[in-house]
A = this chain, B = another copy of it.
Amino acid sequence: MSPSFPLQSDEPATVGLIGFGAFGQLVARHMTPHVQVLAYDNRNSLEDTAQTLGVRLTDLTTVAHCRIIILAIPVQAMADVLTHIAPLLRPDALVLDVGSVKVKPTELMLRLLPPTVGIIGTHPLFGPQSAGQTTTGLKIVLCPVRGPYHRLAAFLRKTLGLRVLICTPEKHDQDMAVTQALTHWLAQSLKTLEPFPSHLTTRSFDLMRDAMKMVEKDAPQVFETIECLNPYASSMRKHYLDLLSSLDKKLDTLTPA
Contacts and interface: CB of A to CB of B under 8 A. Distances in A.
A186 interface: yes
Given A228-B255, A244-B244, A247-B188, A179 B203 contact: no
Majority DSSP secondary structure for residues of A touching B? helix
Contacts of A255: 227-229, 234
B141 A185 contact: no
A252 B234 CA distance: 7
Nearest to A176: B200
Q: Which residue of A208, A215, A255 has the most chain B CB atoms within 10 A of its CB atom?
A: A208
A254 interface: yes
Interface in A121-151: 125-126, 130, 139, 141
Interface in A221-257: 224, 227-229, 233-234, 237-241, 243-245, 247-248, 251-252, 254-256
Contact of A200 (B141, B241, B247): B141
Contacts of A139: 199, 201
Contacts of A199: 139, 165, 175
A83 to B, nearest CB: 17
A189 interface: yes
B179 A205 contact: yes
A155 interface: no
Interface of A: 125-126, 130, 139, 141, 165, 167, 171-172, 175-176, 178-180, 182-190, 192-193, 196-197, 199-205, 207-208, 210-212, 214-215, 224, 227-229, 233-234, 237-241, 243-245, 247-248, 251-252, 254-256
